[in-house]
Structure 1
Amino acid sequence: MKDKTIDYCLRATWQAVMKMYNEQASQFDVTMAVGFALLSIDPDQGTPSTALGPRMGMEATSLSRTLKTMEERGLIERKPNPADGRGVLIHLTPFGKEKRDFAKAQVKTFNGAVRNNISEEKVNHFYEVIDTINDLIQNRKVFNQEETILK
């Protein structure tokens, strides 16, 4: 793309990150989605299943499939939530904690490589830009009813 747009750069970079993590994860018979879920589950207290979707930015259907796969592989177990009789807590099994440690190490390696190659000032600017983009989207400041023409 001759004139790269911000959304193109975000999408292409995220796809490259996903591919990198999936390649790493496949060596240990997991996926990036499973690794992300492992990192999103409290290793000591467990996590309510209803809190995982929003935390991970996943739709309920995708999350259900991921959790089912994780349960079948012995990474997690579901237990009744003592604070809410209707709810379920997702707990990591010892095997799940082992895979979680692996996922955490991969994330630290990636972040370390980025931070070793980009100045702290640039990293801080990156976070400022991402925060601004998220604010624009969450507060519906990109498209409004009066202005529908893309510039």
Structure 2
Amino acid sequence: MKNKTIDYVLRATWQAISRMYNEEASKYGATMATGFALLSIDKEKGTPSTTLGPKMGIEATSLTRTLKSMEEKGLILKKKNPNDGRGVLIYLTDYGKEKRALSKNTVIQFNESIKKHISDEKWENFIEVAETINQLIQEKKIFNSAENNENEIS
């Protein structure tokens, strides 16, 4: 992938991963979003619905559709949050916990397979680069830095 931009490489790779997970999930009548939601819900204490979207990095409307489908399939239960009468807690059913374990194993298998094909040093470099990108974005150092602003056209 020589001469490709960082965002191109990340996007193309994520799309390939997404397709792979969706293909695997479809064997079980699920989607990658369902698997990700199963992994994001605390299997013992449940998870407030308001924290689930940000945790998964998806918009509320997409989350609502995913949760509705999961509830219809018997994977989750929604209960009023006893600490916040306006909120809802999402709990995994026994069936949801079973499917969560399957999702977890799928993610572990993917990670182990990738790690077999790259050295520890390359893995550490990859993590370091990804963390640096995330940090620069969180600290708004990409487009809002003084360094970049010096190059603005007056």
TM bin (shorter chain): over 0.9
Inter-partner Cα distance in structure 2 for 1:86 and 1:23: 37
Instruction: Please state how far the C-alpha of 1:2 moved relative to its aligned partner.
Output: 6.5
Aligned to 2:70: 70
The alpha carbon displacement at 1:85 in A equals: 2.0
Q: Name the structure 2 match of 1:47.
A: 47
Alignment match, 1:82: 82
Deviates more, 1:10-19 or 1:82-91: 82-91
1:3 offset after TM fit, Å?
2.3
**For structure 1, which runs of at least 5 residues remain unmatched after alignment?**
none
After superposition, the Cα gap between the structure-2 partners of 1:19 and 1:148, relative to the gap in structure 1 and judged at 3 Å, is farther
Q: TM-score under structure 2 normalisation?
A: 0.91
Q: Which moved more, 1:33-42 or 1:94-103?
A: 94-103
Normalising by the residue count of structure 1, what TM-score does the alignment of the two structures yield? Answer: 0.93
Q: Distance in 2 between matches of 1:82 and 1:128?
A: 40
| Unaligned stretches of 5+ residues in structure 2 | none
After TM superposition, the structure 1 stretch with the greater mean CA deviation from structure 2, 122-131 or 135-144, is 135-144
* Matched letter for residue 114 of structure 1: I
Runs of 4+ displaced beyond 2 Å = 144-149
Counterpart in 1 of 2:36?
36
Cα distance between partner residues in 2 of 1:142 and 1:55: 23
Amino acid at match of 2:137: I
| Aligned mates of 2:135, 2:152 — CA distance in 1 | 20
Deviations 1:38-92 (A, max 9, x none): 0000011100001101110111111111111111111111011122222111000
Distance in structure 2 (CA, Å) of the matches to 1:55 and 1:120:
28
SS state of the match for residue 130, structure 1? helix
SS in 2 for 1:44: coil
Which residue number in structure 2 is paired with residue 98 of structure 1? 98
CA distance in 2, matches of 1:39, 1:148: 44
**Which residue type is aligned with residue 12 of structure 2?**
A
Written as runs of structure 1 = structure 2, the 5 A alignment for 1:2-151 is 3-144=3-144, 146=149, 147=151
C-alpha distance in 1 between matches for 2:125 and 2:2: 24
Cα distance in 1, alignment partners of residues 68 and 91 from structure 2:
13
Question: Structure 1 residues 106-115 or 136-145, which shifts more?
Answer: 136-145
User: Residues of 1 paired with 2:75 and 2:12: CA distance?
Assistant: 31
* Residue identity opposite 1:126 in structure 2: F
SS in structure 2 of the partner of residue 3 of structure 1: coil
Aligned residues: 149
